[in-house]
Copies of this chain bind each other. A is one copy, B any other.
Amino acid sequence: MSRPETAPLDMKSPVHLTDDQRLDWLRLIRSENVGPRTFGSLLRHFGSARAALAALPDLARRGGAARPVRICGREEAAAELAAAARMGVAFVALGEDDYPAQLATIDDAPPLLAVRGKLAVLNQPMVAMVGSRNASAAGVKLAEQLARDLGAAGLVVVSGLARGIDAAAHRASVATGTVAALAGGHDHVYPPEHVPLVEALIANGAAVSEMPFGYEPRGRDFPRRNRLISGLAHGVIVVEAAQKSGSLITGRMALEQNREVFAVPGSPLDPRAAGTNALIKQGAVMVTEAEDVLAVLRPIIGRRGEQAFAEPHMSDGHGPTPPSEPSPDARARILALLGPTPVTIDDLIRLSGASATMVQATLLELELAGRLKRQQGGRVALL
């Protein structure tokens, strides 16, 4: 039975992948046009990563792919697992006990998270701290002070390992536990000067990545990585941020993920406070000391929402069935309704007259053909 894209398949059963299944998951998420949301659709439709891998070429062809989609081979995936293992990196699957429960609540949670360091830290309550790379001395001092105090209060500090505020936050919480979310593979820490910081923080904390081993991050990878920073945490503190900075994007992302947003104020004459002051005007909680954060997070920590994918060995025999192929007519009607402006799937169902199953199947085909983009709020647009 197919289910709507965003509903968790099974809230109860924890996932425990076999080595073979983990390899299949890695192959599937490393295959062309398969992102976290598509991965979820495929697993819900086909019941297992292996079945989805087998169906991929056909689906992409039906979606109008110009050429066959690239599927990650067994050897390639096995090589990545081996390289990761040599570096002490574990791949944790969404739904497994070690997977960060808070990260599992976002709708584009990575199916596999590559973790280096202490797994246990990922299920402690976390707070994210982000801010300018060209931080002021005052900003660095504040980041350190807040990170130290929040760490002492039992929170793990998440950040992005960037120069400035990020590094200050990590350094001040190395002893109490800090998590660095990487934009590239574990063997491509950016900036390279922070390799020693990563080595230091994995003693009590962790570095996490969803990107392939050997992947060197580019500018466009950072916004995607930022969703992990806010996703891992219960709240995001923006310490210093200019208008239109990456830290503000993380703040906005945090709001979309229903995370608390905190901001440190500054003088209106300080351009590095323009972004944080704007966040406060928009409703972010003003922070001048750790207690401001703790007062908001204490009641929230403990509440958990989780989602997990099921694999066949956990099903009761009434597992999912592959999507029926949409009729050419239905597919054409749905395609005609799509354009570069995002629309909701509900609108597509209503306006096309096709069944929800047909619409989902058509969207999945288009996605795998690299022609569709899924956005926040379950909206889709043609690329």
Q: Which B residues are in CB contact (< 8 Å) with A277?
A: 265, 286, 288
User: Can you report 25 residue pairs joining A to B where beta carbons are below 8 Å apart?
Assistant: A138-B267, A138-B269, A142-B267, A142-B268, A264-B267, A265-B265, A265-B266, A265-B267, A265-B268, A265-B273, A265-B277, A265-B280, A265-B286, A266-B266, A266-B267, A267-B267, A267-B270, A268-B287, A268-B288, A268-B289, A274-B288, A277-B286, A277-B288, A281-B288, A286-B286
* A241 CB to nearest B CB, Å: 14
Give the one of A138, A267, A269, A280 with max B CB within 10 A. A267
For the A-B complex with A265-B265, A268-B288 known, give 4 more contacts whose Cβ atoms are closer than 8 Å. Answer: A142-B268, A265-B268, A267-B270, A267-B273
**Which parts of A261-304 form the interface with B (CB within 8 Å)?**
264-270, 273-274, 277, 280-281, 286-289, 292
Q: Does A16 contact B (CB under 8 A)?
A: no
Bound Cα distance A286, B278 (Å):
9
Bound Cα distance A151, B292 (Å):
36
* A365 CB to nearest B CB, Å: 49
Bound Cα distance A114, B266 (Å):
40
Bound Cα distance A274, B288 (Å):
9
Q: Which B residues are in CB contact (< 8 Å) with A267?
A: 138, 142, 264-267, 270, 273
* A1 CB to nearest B CB, Å: 51
Q: Does A141 contact B (CB under 8 A)?
A: yes
Known: A280-B286, A281-B286, A286-B281. A264 touches B273 (CB 8 A): no
Whether the pair B292, A281 counts as a contact (CB closer than 8 A) is: yes
Bound Cα distance A270, B281 (Å):
20
Q: Which B residues are in CB contact (< 8 Å) with A269?
A: 138, 141-142
Bound Cα distance A269, B273 (Å):
13
| Cβ contacts A185-222/B at 8 Å (1 or 0 each) | 00000000000000000000000000000000000000
Q: Which B residues are in CB contact (< 8 Å) with A281?
A: 286, 288, 292
A287, closest chain B residue (CB): B268
* A285 CB to nearest B CB, Å: 9
* A233 CB to nearest B CB, Å: 21
Q: Which B residues are in CB contact (< 8 Å) with A265?
A: 265-268, 273, 277, 280, 286
Bound Cα distance A197, B351 (Å):
71
A137, closest chain B residue (CB): B269
| Cβ contacts A237-266/B at 8 Å (1 or 0 each) | 000000000000000000000000000111
Q: Closest 4 A-B residue pairs measured CB to CB?
A: A265-B265, A268-B288, A138-B269, A266-B267
Q: Which B residues are in CB contact (< 8 Å) with A138?
A: 267, 269
Give the one of A138, A141, A277, A287 with max B CB within 10 A. A277
A289, closest chain B residue (CB): B268
Bound Cα distance A319, B207 (Å):
83
Q: Which B residues are in CB contact (< 8 Å) with A141?
A: 269
Bound Cα distance A268, B280 (Å):
14
* A278 CB to nearest B CB, Å: 8
Q: Which B residues are in CB contact (< 8 Å) with A264?
A: 267-268
Bound Cα distance A288, B266 (Å):
10
A277, closest chain B residue (CB): B288
Bound Cα distance A265, B277 (Å):
8
A146, closest chain B residue (CB): B268
A272, closest chain B residue (CB): B267
Q: Which B residues are in CB contact (< 8 Å) with A288?
A: 268, 274, 277, 281
Q: Which B residues are in CB contact (< 8 Å) with A268?
A: 142, 264-265, 287-289
A269, closest chain B residue (CB): B138
Bound Cα distance A269, B274 (Å):
17
**Which parts of A302-352 form the interface with B (CB within 8 Å)?**
none
